[in-house]
Amino acid sequence: MLPAVGRVLREYAIQIRDSGRNPQLYLWGLFLCGLGQSIFALLFNLYLRSLGFGDSNIGQILSKVSLGAAVAAIPAAVLFRRIPARALLVGSAALAACGYVLQASLTAPELLLLVAFLSGMILTMFRLSIAPVAMREADRKARPFLFSASFGVTFISAIVGSALGGALPHLFQGLTANDGLALRWSLFVGAGVTFLAALPFLAMEERPAPDASRGAEGFPNPIDQIRDLFEIDWGIHLKLILPAAMVGLGAGLIIPFLNLYFRDRFGLSAGQIGILFSVMQGFMVAGNLFGPAVSKRLGMVRGVVWTQLASVPFMIVLAVSGFFPLVVVSFFFRGGLMNMNQPLASHFAMEVVPERDHALTNSLLSLSWYLAWSVSAEIGGALIQRKGYGEPLLLAAGLYVGASVLYWTFFRGVEDVRVPRAEVEIPEA
C-alpha cells in the first residue's frame, strides 16, 4: 500500500513540477485560502451558537453564503474569461479576509445575513478558478493531476485548518474566560491566513485571459454574455447540471451542520470536533490522490457514480446509529468516498464541452450546486431544530442516490474522455 502511495505522489510531483511555476504558486495560494476557510468554517457555527442563535437562524445565515456563491457564479465565469486569473485571485483573497472579519465582528442578524451573502459571492472565485487555471496552465497529460492536486491541496489545508481551528479557542481561553470571545479571536486568525493567500497569487506570472481582447479594456460586454448563454449546447449542460443540483440539495441539508451534529449528539468540544474533521479531510485527500487511478480503472462516469453510491450506506449509519466508534468510521468514509469524485466530475465536464465554454460550464455547475445548497441549508436548519439530525441525513442519502442514477442515465454511453474531444458523443437521455 505505502509503495503505491509513494508512486502516486511522485507522479503528482513530476507532473506539477513540469507544468511550471504558475501551477505551483496557485497551489500554495489555494492551500492558504483553504487553511483560512477551514478554520472559519469549523468555528463559525459554534460562534453563532455562543451568541444564542438557534439552528434555524444558523441555517439561514449559512444558506446566504451559498446563495451569494450562486449569484456570483455566472459573473465569475465572465470575469475569468476577460480578466487575468492572477488579478481576480489576489483581489478575492483580500476581500474574503475582510468578509471574515466582518462576520466575526457583527452580531445583528440582518447584517450577518448581508455579509454572509457578500462573502459567498467572493469565495466562489476560488472554487471556480480550478477548472480554468488547470486547463490553461497544464497540458492534456498533466491536467488530471493538476485538477486532483487542486482539490487535494484544499483538503490538506482543511486537515491542518481543522486541527488548528480546534486548538485555537483553547489557546485563547488562556487569555480570556469568555468562550465567545475566544472563538471570535480564532475567527480573526482564519481571516488573517486567508489574506496571506494573496501573496503567492500575486507572484504568479500574469497571463492574458482568453477573451481579454473583447470588450472595452477587457471588461465584459453584456451583449456578448447573453449571446454566449444562447450559443452553448444546453442539452449537454442540463445533463451535467441536474445531478450536480441534486447533490447540492442533499449536501446543504446536513453538511454545514456536521460540527453541531457531533457537539449536540455526542457532546464533543471544539478541539475534539477539530480532530475529527482533520482526520476526515485526510480521507478526502486519499480519495483525491487516487482519483486518476479510479478513472483509469472504471472510467470517469463509472468512477463518479460508484464512489457516490458507496458513500450512501455510511450516511444512513450517521442517521440511525448512536454508537460513537461506528459513527466516526462512517463519517470518515462518507467524506472520502463522496469527495473522491469531485475532480473526476469536474474534469469530465471540461472534456465534453468546447474549450471556450470551460469557465461558463464550471460556473453553471457551481450555480446549480450553490443555489440548491442555499435552499436546502435553510430547510436543513429548520428540520434539525424540530426533528433532529436523522431525517436530513436520510433525505440527503436519497438525493445522492437520485443524482447517481441521473448521471449514469445521461452519460453511461460516453466514450473514454481520453480520446480526442471530437470523438466523444453525449447520448440522448
In a domain, 230, yes or no: yes
pLDDT at 74 over 80: no
pLDDT at 419: 34
pLDDT at 128: 74
pLDDT band at 8 (very low <50, low <70, confident <90, very high): low
pLDDT at 213 over 60: no
Number of compact structural domains in the chain:
1
pLDDT at 354 over 90: no
Q: What are phi and psi of 269, to 5 degrees?
A: -85, 170
pLDDT band at 209 (very low <50, low <70, confident <90, very high): low
pLDDT at 220: 46
48-66 mean pLDDT:
88
pLDDT at 72 over 90: no
* Collapsed DSSP state (helix, strand, coil) of residue 325: helix
**117-148 burial string, b = 16+ CB within 10 Å, else e?**
bbbbbbbbbbbbbbbbbbbbbbeeebbbbbbb
In 3-state terms the chain splits into helix, strand, coil percentages (rounded to 5) of 85, 0, 15
* Collapsed DSSP state (helix, strand, coil) of residue 343: helix
d(CA 406, CA 249): 14
316-334 mean pLDDT:
94
238-252 mean pLDDT:
92
pLDDT band at 338 (very low <50, low <70, confident <90, very high): confident
What is the distance in angstroms between the CA of the first residue and the CA of the last residue of the chain? 40
d(CA 400, CA 254): 12
Q: Which of 35, 68, 340 is nearest to 160 (CA)?
A: 35
Query: Which phi-psi region, left, alpha or beta, contains residue 75 (left: φ > 0; alpha: ψ -120 to 50)?
Result: alpha
Ordered DSSP codes for 13-63: HHHHHHT-HHHHHHHHHHHHHHHHHHHHHHHHHHHHHHTT--HHHHHHHHH
In a domain, 429, yes or no: no
The model's pLDDT over 214-229, given as tens digits with 9 standing for 90+, comes to 444 444 455 555 556 6
The model's pLDDT over 262-292, given as tens digits with 9 standing for 90+, comes to 989 999 988 899 899 888 877 877 776 676 6
In a domain, 134, yes or no: yes
CB contact at 8 A, 376 and 253:
yes
In a domain, 11, yes or no: no
pLDDT at 414 over 60: yes
pLDDT band at 5 (very low <50, low <70, confident <90, very high): low
In a domain, 75, yes or no: yes
- Domain with 272 in it: 19-204+224-418
Instruction: State pTM to two decimals.
Output: 0.72
Share of the chain above pLDDT 70, in %: 85
pLDDT at 211: 59
pLDDT at 164: 92
In a domain, 140, yes or no: yes
In a domain, 234, yes or no: yes
The model's pLDDT over 172-207, given as tens digits with 9 standing for 90+, comes to 988 887 888 999 999 999 999 999 999 999 998 877
Ordered DSSP codes for 182-248: HHHHHHHHHHHHHHHTHHHHHHSPP---TTTTSSGGG---HHHHHHHHHHS-HHHHHHHHHHHHHHH
pLDDT at 326 over 90: yes
Which comes out higher in pLDDT, residue 137 or 308?
Answer: 308
Q: What is the average pLDDT score of the chain? A: 82
- The answer for residues whose C-beta is within 8 angstroms of residue 143's C-beta and 6 or more apart is 134, 135, 347
pLDDT at 221: 52
d(CA 252, CA 69): 13
pLDDT at 45 over 80: yes
**CA quadruple 207, 209, 210, 213: dihedral sign:** negative
In a domain, 306, yes or no: yes
d(CA 397, CA 312): 5
CB contact at 8 A, 133 and 85:
yes
The CATH number given to whatever domain includes residue 183 is 1.20.1250.20
